[in-house]
Structure 1
Amino acid sequence: MNQWGRDLALGFRFAFAGGREGWTRALLTAVGVGLGVALLLLTTAIPNALAARDDRANDRTDITYSGQVPAKADDTLVVADADTDFRGADIRGRTLEPEGPRAPLPPGVDSFPAVGEMVVSPALKRLLESDGGALLRERLPDRIVGTIGDSGLVGSADLTFYRGGQGIGQYVDGAQVTRIDRYGDPDPYETDMDPVLVLLVLVVFVALLMPVAVFIAAAVRFGGERRDRRLAALRLVGSDGRMTRRIAAGEALAGALLGLVLGTVFFLIGRQIAGSVEVFRFSVFPADLNPSPALALLVAVLVPAAAVLVTLLALRGVVIEPLGVVRTAKPTRRRLWWRLLLPLGGLAMLYPMIGQGNDDGEFNQYLVIGGVMLLLVGVTALLPWVVETVVARLGGGGVAWQLAVRRLQLSSGTAARLVNGVAVAVAGAIALQMLFAGVEKDYTKDTGYDLTTAQMEVTTGGGVELAHATEQLRRTEGVRQVVSHSEGYLGDTRLDPARTSEVTVGGCAALREVADLPTCRDGDVFAVRDAEWDTDTPQLARPGTTLYLDPSYEGDVRGREVAWKVPEGIRKVATHKDLSGRERGGFLITPKALPEAARPAMTGRAYIGLDASVPDARERVRNTAAALGPLVLPHDWSATQSNERYDSIRTGLFVGAVCVLLLIGSSLLVSQLEQLRERKKLLSALVAFGTRRRTLSLSVLWQTAIPVALGLLLASAVGLTLGAVLLRMTDTKVRVDWASLLSMTGAAAVVVLAVTLLSLPPLLRLMRPDGLRTE
């Protein structure tokens, strides 16, 4: 152990005291390792960031839909939902009316805003004050009197506001308007994720972290060839082969330790930047990104250990002698059999879980992680063999092609290392895309909305007349048509009715949207027959029966029940799907047949068809709704609705993919610059002999393009295989999304092309005859 320590320490000294060659290589290694370490630290910090976001979201919870509404007191607060959207961005809003001096303040708010005032998040304030927020300012005209602190926001880009209200306590219903005596959900409802979602999380983490590990392993070998030649001098002063390899490992260790320092700096800089950006509508505060101490320590131990291990393994096939390094001799052909064992072992670990789906309990997490890792590591093992085998068979061509091919034939392993990370990232991305596309139908349901007729819905409340709201919406720019009706419930008694039925009130045109009416005129009443789940209406729809509109439940005697007698001329009609995609039951009543006293108890709904040619038509509808009253809420319609947790996992994948893509580009650029630095004298010699610069530039492009093309082909094959196995594990039919596959490989190719173009300026500077000068 003492000898190991002395040799590693000597290599450590060579890295920083061995002249420009030594510290340049150490710096390149540190930058490559540092980028990977920064992303690893970010990954270890994500669980804490998500937990912090969830805690703040729970702390500001007010509308819980639990139905348990406290009585009015001096410590209660009336809260009304005022959420809205603006050009695809969700804005959380609440209207507040304190009922006493001890009413609870929302987190991050110092005092309640008065009527006509509001407090907003910093991000919303910037949006309202920007030129692009003019339409939103019309919707939120209240005077801004303060900003919400970080404790009341889930992220730095959170769009939230609280405004003052008056007279909304009379509309408390426990859902849209509620009364609370404290903030926070006392009984947060959490359900365990089903096995398929757990599988998605596991595969996302493995697929995103594997390229990082591959890049770190490649970074510690930067400048390997020139380092090995320098190590030959050590043999002249008496060191043996093992000691020389340990000294080389010490050099790699120095670069890795410096990489840990740079990685920490990169992470701290990135953490500050993260507080000012939003990726896929996901934002955090810098303080949220705190890596777990245990995981951070694991990174700090594994990265230097990996540097030493990778270096020792890489030097097994290199003979370092006093007179040089035996690397230029023709190497033995790489063997294929042991390389196939890795992906085959991965398939063997995943095979027992094929067909399991959601019905056979949890997937074995260790088998999933191990199997996916082996398949992705198999890419790094197979790619050098593939590159060597293919380039060995490439023949003649132009001068640039021959220069590139010959270079690849001499050092195919170096070329493969350059592409390994890209190939692993693409293989994982293809498998994930197949898995997400395959299970999407299980977590996405059809809403049933008739989007050909209506694209938005506006719900009226707070005493707003539906007829007035409908007229205002029709006058809104961008509105093509409006179909409206009101809804309510009736029962057989005033309090806690045994039988209930729904009521739909509207003109004949509106009622024809929900049922098949033979004839209709104002004053008619209809009862829907044979409606699914509606067993009470046939008992209630007997002429002369007295029913009660807006009955009270669970002892909540509101005194707003209105008696209504079923008329003699009631007719039975058949129902059909309405614009919202559901079949209505109960009673259909035209306006003249509804008692005037019952109108305030009805909830109005307006279905709005938009003119797609009018810009910001949806925003104008929302502005009209806001002008009608604080309890008039618009809703966008969409063809499908996704599971919230599924969407969260998919968003996490997109955020992680962006980070990995940035790492790929940065690491490839550093690797490319290191390769050019290695070949500085060779390029200068070729220029001195008269080789055109365009020819050399094309040769560098071919040296990159050939391994990348082979790597993407191998990644596609492994990714498709892994994706098919994962789909069979979820008991889903295997289907290849070719568009996604091409987009994944295309994105990787674009990154490599961009890196190649960025490396051309330093390449041109290196291609000068004076590069042959030495000291």
Structure 2
Amino acid sequence: MSARQWGRDLGLGFRFAFTGGREGWTRVLLTAVGVGLGVALLLLTTAIPNALAVRHDREAARADYTYGPHRPKAENTLVIADTDTAFRGRTVRGRLVEPEGPKAPVAPGLSAYPAPGEMVVSPALKELLGSGEGKLLRERLPYRITGTIGESGLVGSQELAYYAGAKNLAPKINGYQTARISTFGSPNKPPANRTDPVLILLVLLVFVVLLMPVGVFIATAVRFGGERRDRRLAALRLVGSDSRMTRRIAAGEALAGSLVGLLFGTLFFLLGRRFAGSVEVVGMSVFPDYLDPSPALAALVALAVPAAAVLVTLFALRGVVIEPLGVMRTARPARRRLWWRLLLPLGGLALLAPMINKGRSDGEFNQYLVTGGVLLLLVGVTTLLPWAVEAVVARLHLGAVAWQLAVRRLQLSSGSAARMVNGIAVAVAGAIALQMLFAGVEGDYTKDTGKDLSRAQMQINLSHGTPFRTAADRFTTTKGVRKAVSLGSTSLGNKDWPDADSTVLMVAGTCASLREVARLPSCREGDAFLSTGGDQDDDAAIAKLTRPGRVLHIDTADGTGRGPDVRWTVPAGLKPARAITSPNGMRNSAVLVTRPAVPDRVNRVLDGAVYVMLDPRVPEVTEYIRNTAAQVDPFAEAIEWSATEQSKKFTSIRTGLYAGAICVLALIGASLLVTQLEQLRERRKLLSSLMAFGTRRRTLGLSVLWQTALPVALGLLLAAAVGLTLGTVLLKMVGAPLGVDWPSVLTMTGAGAGVVLVVTLLSLPPLLRLMRPEGLRTE
């Protein structure tokens, strides 16, 4: 068969799609909407790498590293302090700035720095502070808003950020929170680290699992209106076309719908991109121009979708005999065979088998085998589901009228019912497998912080010079605080500190607060103790270093150069004490001193910290504490404790999965709704006939519900089985212990069922309109 003949037949089908009257236009429109939704998500996927790259570049361009070599004051220097905070689970990026000369570097997104007492904010922060929801945050930021940060200074449209003017910041320079800089941006390219092969596997699986349902939906959309199309094609046989030519013409009709779908998808993507700037998904937001698809990937989508439409149509018609007098599919179809449908998932398992028990120690996983194996397993869901639906409904007979109507319809067209559920079954199967893998390896990327949450739930680190003893009183009177304990600490060493062989920790506080870090025999103001039994097993060196009368030195440089030499003489009669685990999870041997035993010159260089116990019954108690911390010390760092902390890379991959899952679920709902409306449209005359014969609306509505519920239940059961199998194989690949995360399995299954329920409810109004007797009217 020549390419010319192919082109002529496809072109003929293309013209039929647009010249077939209302019926043809309706089918093209439904196909275009279904394909367009999938294309929009594919374009979004191709734009994600660019969005992440732009976010990274913006973050690097505004980097204000507060560590490095000490710089003297000059015309081109800026003193900048990190004053990040959090509000209701969202990070607020804060900076205090003091330019020291006319050539001081200007941060990206700013034209000039605000004066002391003023600030420039991101648009999202300005909106939040101006609303009633931002009242508590407004108390924490006592600056007047004089402008907004430009897009070049933000990593996302919903980022909360501000720059506030300050004065006399130089004394606060410490090399880690406050520093003097002469330029913005990363000074050095970070060294390339070997990426964890398990994390690479997770990223690969996330993309495969999220994109697979999109392909299924596109393949389903190009088959909309297939039964009516086949009846129209019978007329072509009557005027002389052969069966192959008829199939090519049908493929041309599908090609027309897919091309219009590309246009719709581009339009949906552009509308979604404009809307993307106003939303935040799992803590991540972007500006619309971030979502710029890769030209090569966009071209691949533009070529793959029409080609898939033609191939799917030809494949779907392989078992349909279109004759001049009708379509043989109306007869009882042959029973579907199971053996070849099992070959796909078995082939997927065969591809994944060589990587079982490989773990992360034997190098990276073969990406081609992983992709191929997972694809075959998920495609196996789409091939097994039609067989499962046919095998089950063939054995269902007795029941109420609505049940019998639904079962009979499924017996006649089980393939159409299975196609509607294929996408959601694939999505659920992939999600279950991924959740099992995430749960299995989560322990490898999660570590115990050691924090004792029964003694404190927040820690407030104060800057040098802040009276930490009086700060505890301020927190004690804060709403929602049960108890507040303050401690000051520093390190003591020989004169050549920190090059000495040993140092000793000094901890200062009241008798009550010192009992949080050591077991004291007795304590009165003015006492000093030597606490032993710490985790470092350095008691002998500390005892030698703390001989009575010895002069020890405190390092005050903080990495910024040489600071003043602050001395402390070890007093006679240090009382023995036994170290215990402090609220922050550490047990250190140390010198413990009460206030009268600490000279003022030493007291001024102590690092103060306040440990706070919260009343969980008080709403937003953490916000009240952060407000108090900002009032006590603008440079204070309020940290909310947790029992564990997780790898940022692992967390970001999981965040990407959640963001993608939300988009895919939205696509599932929209595509299912379009599919449901298309199937109802094809049954319009049947529904109107049943109404004309006196069938109740309630009976017809229940029959439609059963027609959806039965395939969905079978699809979800099959998805759970395939998902558990794939999850088990993936866990064995990474060497993680086998286990089923049943809450995640039930959550994913329930989410799929919930989407179908919502779609069914939304399809009821059109169903009621189609039940009218006017539906029997024809042209």
TM-score bracket for the superposition, by shorter chain length:
over 0.9
Q: For 2:513 and 2:360, locate their aligned partners in 1 and report how far apart those are by CA, in whole Å.
A: 43
Which whole-Å CA distance do the structure 2 matches of 1:421 and 1:551 have between them?
A: 63
Q: CA deviation at 1:423?
A: 0.2
The 3-state SS of whatever aligns with 1:416 is helix
Of the three residues 562, 565, 578, the one matched with 1:557 is 562
Contact 1:15 1:26 (C-alpha < 8 Å) held by counterparts = yes
- AA of the residue aligned to 2:562: V
The aligned counterpart of 1:711 is: 715
Tell me whether 1:513 sits opposite 2:516 in the alignment.
yes
The aligned counterpart of 1:528 is 531
Gaps of 5+ in 2: none
The residue that corresponds to 1:55 in the other structure is 57
Per-residue CA deviation, residues 126-168 of structure 1 (Å, 9 max, x unaligned), is: 0000011111111112000110000000000000001011112
Q: Indicate the larger mover: 589-598 or 648-657.
A: 589-598
Tell me by how many angstroms 1:433 deviates.
0.9
**Aligned equivalents of 2:335, 2:762: Cα separation in 1:** 34
Deviates more, 1:305-314 or 1:572-581: 572-581
Structure 2 residue aligned with 1:34: 36
Does 2:147 correspond to 1:143? Answer: no
From 254, 264, 269, give the equivalent of 2:266. 264
Task: State the 1:25 CA deviation.
Answer: 0.3
* Kept in 2: contact 1:529–1:573 (CA 8 A): yes
Q: Secondary structure at the match of 2:180?
A: strand
User: After the TM superposition, which residues 183-582 of structure 1 pair with which residues of structure 2 at under 5 Å, given as runs?
Assistant: 183-189=184-190, 191-493=193-495, 496-498=498-500, 499-533=502-536, 535=538, 536-550=541-555, 552=557, 556-559=561-564, 561-582=565-586
Shift of 1:357: 1.8
Say if 2:625 is the partner of 1:624.
no
Quote the Cα distance in structure 2 between the aligned partners of 1:534 and 1:147.
53
Q: What is the match of residue 124 of structure 2?
A: 123
* Separation in structure 1 between the aligned mates of residue 82 and residue 593 of structure 2, nearest angstrom: 29
Residues 495 and 552, structure 1, Cα contact 8 Å, conserved in 2: no
Contact 1:490 1:551 in 2 (8 A): no
Question: How far off its partner does 1:33 sit?
Answer: 0.2
Identity of aligned residues (%): 65
Q: Equivalent residue for 2:729?
A: 725
Match of 1:111 in 2: 112
Q: Secondary structure at the match of 1:423?
A: helix
Task: Write the deviation string for residues 398-434 of structure 1: whole angstroms up to 9, x where unpaired.
Answer: 1111111111111111111000001000001111111
Asked if structure 1 preserves the Cα contact closer than 8 Å seen for 2:66 and 2:181, the reply is: no
Aligned 1:165-180 pairs, distance under 5 A: 165-180=166-181
CA shift for structure 1 position 683? 1.0
1:519, distance to aligned residue in structure 2 (A): 2.0
Query: Aligned with 1:656: secondary structure?
Result: helix
Report which stretch shifted further, 296-305 or 549-558: 549-558
Q: CA deviation at 1:492?
A: 0.6
The answer (yes or no) to whether the contact 2:497–2:555 under 8 Å persists in 1 is no
CA displacement 1:693-714 (0-9 Å, x = unmatched): 1111111111100000000000
Q: Kindly tell me: are residues 402 and 653 of structure 1, through their superposed partners in 2, closer, same or farther at Cα, counting changes over 3 Å?
A: same
Are the aligned partners of 2:36 and 2:262 in contact in 1 as well (CA < 8 Å)? yes
| Alpha-carbon distance in structure 1 between the residues aligned to 2:635 and 2:764 | 61
Q: Distance in 1 between matches of 2:557 and 2:153?
A: 36
Q: Is contact 1:387-1:416 (8 Å) kept?
A: yes
Note the C-alpha offset of 1:231. 0.2
Residues 233-272 of structure 1: CA deviation (Å, up to 9, x unaligned)? 0001110000000000000000000000000000000000
Matches within 5 A, 1:756-775: 756-775=760-779
Corresponding letter in the other structure for 2:504: S
Is this contact kept in 2: 1:78–1:96, CA < 8 A? yes
Query: How many angstroms does 1:583 deviate by?
Result: 1.2
Q: Who is 1:674 aligned against? A: 678
Residue in structure 2 matched with residue 590 of structure 1 by the alignment: 594
Separation (CA, whole Å) in 2 of partners of 1:63 and 1:633:
17
Aligned residue type for 2:490: G
Residues 675-722 of structure 1: CA deviation (Å, up to 9, x unaligned): 011111111111111111111111111110000000000000000011
- After TM superposition, the structure 1 stretch with the greater mean CA deviation from structure 2, 207-216 or 518-527, is 518-527
1:660 aligned partner: 664
**Residues 223, 678 of structure 1: 8 Å contact kept:** yes
What is the CA distance between 1:376 and its match in structure 2? 0.5
Instruction: Number of aligned residue pairs: give it.
Output: 773
**What is the CA distance between 1:69 and its match in structure 2?**
3.4
Work out whether residues 523 and 592 of structure 1, in 8 Å CA contact, stay in contact via their aligned partners in 2: yes
Distance 1:532 1:448 in 2: 13
Contact 1:534–1:586 (CA<8 Å) still a contact in 2? no
Contact 1:550 1:601 (C-alpha < 8 Å) held by counterparts: no
Kindly provide the amino acid, as one letter, of the partner of residue 132 in structure 2.
D
Q: Deviations over 1:145-203 (max 9, x none)?
A: 11000000000000000101111211211111111110111224353431111111111
Report if aligned partners of 2:673, 2:759 keep a CA contact under 8 Å in 1.
yes
Q: Deviations over 1:481-520 (max 9, x none)?
A: 1011101111111554413222111112111111222222
Whole-angstrom CA distance in 1 between matches of 2:592 and 2:74: 40
Measure the CA separation in 1 of the matches of 2:654 and 2:757: 27
2:318 match: secondary structure: helix
Tell me the amino acid that sits aligned with residue 159 of structure 2: D
Q: Which amino acid aligns with 2:532?
A: R
Q: How big is the shift at 1:568? A: 2.3
1:554 Cα offset (Å): 7.5
CA separation in 1, counterparts of 2:188 and 2:66? 9
What amino acid sits opposite 1:505 in the alignment? A
Of 268-277 and 487-496, deviating more is: 487-496
Q: Is the 8 A contact 2:97 2:165 kept in 1?
A: yes
RMSD: 1.4
Residue number in structure 1 paired with 2:687: 683
Letter in 2 for 1:507: T
Give yes or no for contact 2:175–2:560 (8 Å, CA) kept in 1. no
Offset, 1:68: 2.6
**Structure 1 stretches lacking a partner, 5+ long:** none
SS in structure 1 opposite 2:167? coil
Cα pair 2:556 2:605 within 8 Å, conserved = no
Distance 1:80 1:651, change over 3 A: same
Report the secondary structure of 1:317's partner residue: coil
Residue of structure 1 equivalent to 2:94: 93
Residues 732, 102 of structure 1: CA spacing in aligned structure 2 closer, same or farther, 3 A cutoff? same
Aligned AA (1:504) = V
SS at match of 1:481: strand
Structure 1 residues 519-528 or 104-113, which shifts more? 519-528
Q: Tell me which moved more, 11-20 or 608-617.
A: 608-617
SS of structure 2 residue aligned to 1:95: strand
Q: Is the 8 A contact 1:462 1:629 kept in 2?
A: no
**Deviation string for 1:716-751 (max 9, x for gaps)?**
000001111111111111111111111111111111
Counterpart Cα distance in 2 of 1:709 and 1:576: 57
TM-score by length of 1: 0.98
CA distance in structure 2 between the aligned counterparts of 1:730 and 1:86, rounded to whole angstroms: 37
Q: What amino acid sits opposite 1:17 in the alignment?
A: T
Deviates more, 1:221-230 or 1:590-599: 590-599
- In the alignment, the residues of structure 1 paired with residue 456 and residue 386 of structure 2 have an alpha-carbon distance, to the nearest angstrom, of 57
C-alpha separation between the residues in 2 aligned to 1:81 and 1:638? 22
